[in-house]
Structures are given as structure tokens and as C-alpha cells.
């Protein structure tokens, strides 16, 4: 049972955790976050996520209030306080308390913990559907707290039976609301957007694994390429690698999860085990 969060470096109970209403995250939606998994009591791919957190903070001009080592220690302390074996952890850096309601000040740092989300086995054995929507995030390489578009589209998404929204802009596919997107061509080449996206850590690891077995292209992915793709899949921290069998009205390949995406899912699971095993040495 999760009992504690961390607010500006201090461990407090969930009930005590709070943020003033004049923080820019509330007033203007100004802030960033990152999210990673705790497995076997340890952060998974820890440094990769901290690197991305630092990149996001620097990109929008928010100084991290703690050194990297101090932040790591706070995370380990929170894991210990909650006696965590498996969970999701979210780091949130806000714009701070602003007197004029607009100018960023000293950021607030929150560390939250939650139980891991679970997905039906059928998502992996039968694949999922995505819904196309034309949109491109303002700061695509920043993991911003602004999910206005994605949240707003939930009713439409549910109405068509889609699990997520796939954003495209000016004829090119970018990403979903919370995952990176890939297609597999007939020759087993894996293609994913090379710019204008949030570079997911699971994406990074999946591409490293893929390059050992398949041709890989990071480039502009045309929306028309959905018509000829034999497979598609998405990746994120919580879902790992999940097959996509339909995008709006387009059926991908034969409408079933393909060999390549299934292979990459298995390789990623093995990589996770290897990473955790190495930490125990």
C-alpha cells in the first residue's frame, strides 16, 4: 500500500502532500514530468529517465532544484518508505509560485507513486486500434504536463473503440498521446518518426534491440504508409511493445499481431530482466 509522496525533498504522507494554488502548473499548465517503473524495488533504466527529465527542464527554462545525486537519493528514500517492489513513479517539476500568475519562479518538485496499470492480455494477443487526429505538440521533445488534447479526445476515442489517439500533421505521423509509434514494412524494415516527437526511453531501448535483427529507419513517416505496412506497434514504459492492428478505418496487414512486434516484445522483456539482474550483482 502506497503511503508516502515526496514534496520538495521531504517525504510526507499522501494526505499531507499539497501544492499551492498559485503554482504555474495550476494557473498556466507550465511544468514537466517524467515517469518510470520500479521493479524489484529498483528504478528501471534509471539514468535514461533522469537524462530526459534534465533535457525537458532545460528546454523550457526550469532549473532542477536538486542535484542529480540528491534526486536519486530522494527516489531511493521514497522507495524504502513505501517498501516498494513494483510501482510507477512520477517526477513533476512545476513553474513555481508566481506572484503575477505568469512568470516562472523557483520550481516545485513532486515525486508521486502509484500502482502499475495493467492491460488485458488480448491487447497483446489480438492487438489494438488507434484513432487518427491531426495535431502536433508545441514542444514535442519535452515531456510536458499539458495533455489537454489527449484528455479532450477521450470521449471520441471511446466512441470508436480505440485505445489511444495517433497524432499526425501535414501528412506525417508522429506519436500517440502517451506512446511512440512504429510500422513494419514488407521486408521487415522498422520505421518510426525521427523528429518532432518525444523520444521515449522504451522507444530507445526497442530500437537498440531492433537494430540487431532488422533494418531500422528513423525518418518522416507518411500517413499513406499505413496502407502498405504489414505490422504496426506502439511502445511506452507501461505497455512495453504492443501491437496495433487498426488505425481509424485502416486495417494493418492481415489485422493480426505480427511476428516482428511479438519478437521485439520478447526481446524487451529479456532486456528488462538483464538490467535488473545486473543491479543485483
Per-residue pLDDT of the chain (281 residues; tens, 9 = 90+): 899 999 999 999 999 999 999 999 999 999 999 999 999 999 999 999 999 999 999 999 999 999 999 999 999 999 999 999 999 999 999 999 999 999 999 999 999 999 999 999 999 999 999 999 999 999 999 999 999 999 999 999 999 999 999 999 999 999 999 999 999 999 999 999 999 999 999 999 999 999 999 999 999 999 999 999 999 999 999 999 999 999 999 999 999 999 999 999 999 999 999 999 998 75
* Same domain (yes/no): 220, 243: yes
* Same domain (yes/no): 16, 145: no
* Same domain (yes/no): 221, 269: yes
Pair 149, 174: CB distance under 8 Å: no
- The whole-model pTM stands at 0.97
In angstroms, rounded to a whole number, what is the distance separating the alpha carbons of residues 27 and 21? 8
Pair 154, 41: CB distance under 8 Å: no
Which grid coordinates belong to 246? 487498426
* Same domain (yes/no): 109, 18: yes
In angstroms, rounded to a whole number, what is the distance separating the alpha carbons of residues 84 and 190? 36
| Angle made by CA atoms 108, 176, 158, in degrees to the nearest 5 | 100
For 135, the domain range is 122-273
* Same domain (yes/no): 85, 195: no
- Asked if the structure places residue 279 within a domain, the reply is no
* Same domain (yes/no): 78, 126: no
* Same domain (yes/no): 88, 137: no
Q: Under DSSP, is residue 134 helix (H, G, I), strand (E, B) or coil? A: strand
Amino acid at each position: 500500500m502506497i503511503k508516502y509522496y515526496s514534496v520538495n525533498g521531504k517525504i510526507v504522507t499522501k494526505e499531507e502532500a499539497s501544492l499551492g494554488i498559485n503554482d504555474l502548473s495550476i494557473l498556466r499548465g507550465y511544468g514537466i514530468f517524467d515517469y518510470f517503473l520500479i521493479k524489484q524495488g529498483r528504478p528501471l533504466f534509471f539514468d535514461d529517465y533522469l537524462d530526459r527529465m534534465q533535457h525537458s527542464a532545460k528546454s523550457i527554462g526550469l532549473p532542477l532544484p536538486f542535484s542529480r545525486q540528491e534526486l536519486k537519493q530522494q527516489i531511493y528514500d521514497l522507495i524504502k518508505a513505501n517498501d516498494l517492489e513494483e510501482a510507477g513513479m512520477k517526477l513533476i517539476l512545476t513553474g513555481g509560485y508566481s506572484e503575477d500568475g505568469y512568470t516562472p519562479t523557483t520550481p516545485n518538485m513532486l515525486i508521486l507513486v502509484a500502482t502499475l496499470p495493467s492491460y488485458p492480455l488480448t491487447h497483446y494477443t489480438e492487438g489494438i486500434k488507434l484513432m487518427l487526429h491531426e495535431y502536433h505538440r508545441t514542444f514535442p521533445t519535452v515531456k510536458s504536463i499539458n495533455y489537454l488534447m489527449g484528455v479532450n479526445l477521450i470521449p471520441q476515442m471511446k466512441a470508436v473503440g480505440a485505445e489511444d489517439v495517433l497524432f499526425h500533421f501535414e501528412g506525417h505521423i508522429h506519436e500517440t498521446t502517451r506512446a511512440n509509434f512504429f510500422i513494419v514494412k514488407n521486408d521487415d524494415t522498422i520505421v518510426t518518426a525521427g523528429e518532432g516527437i518525444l523520444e521515449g526511453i522504451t522507444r530507445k531501448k526497442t530500437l537498440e534491440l531492433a537494430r540487431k535483427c532488422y533494418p531500422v529507419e528513423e525518418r518522416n513517416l507518411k500517413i499513406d504508409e499505413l496502407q502498405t505496412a504489414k505490422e504496426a506497434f506502439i511502445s511506452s514504459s507501461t505497455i512495453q511493445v504492443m501491437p496495433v492492428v487498426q488505425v481509424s478505418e485502416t486495417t494493418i496487414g492481415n489485422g493480426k499481431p505480427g511476428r516482428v512486434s511479438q519478437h521485439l516484445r520478447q526481446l524487451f522483456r529479456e532486456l528488462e530482466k538483464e538490467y535488473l539482474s545486473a543491479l543485483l550483482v
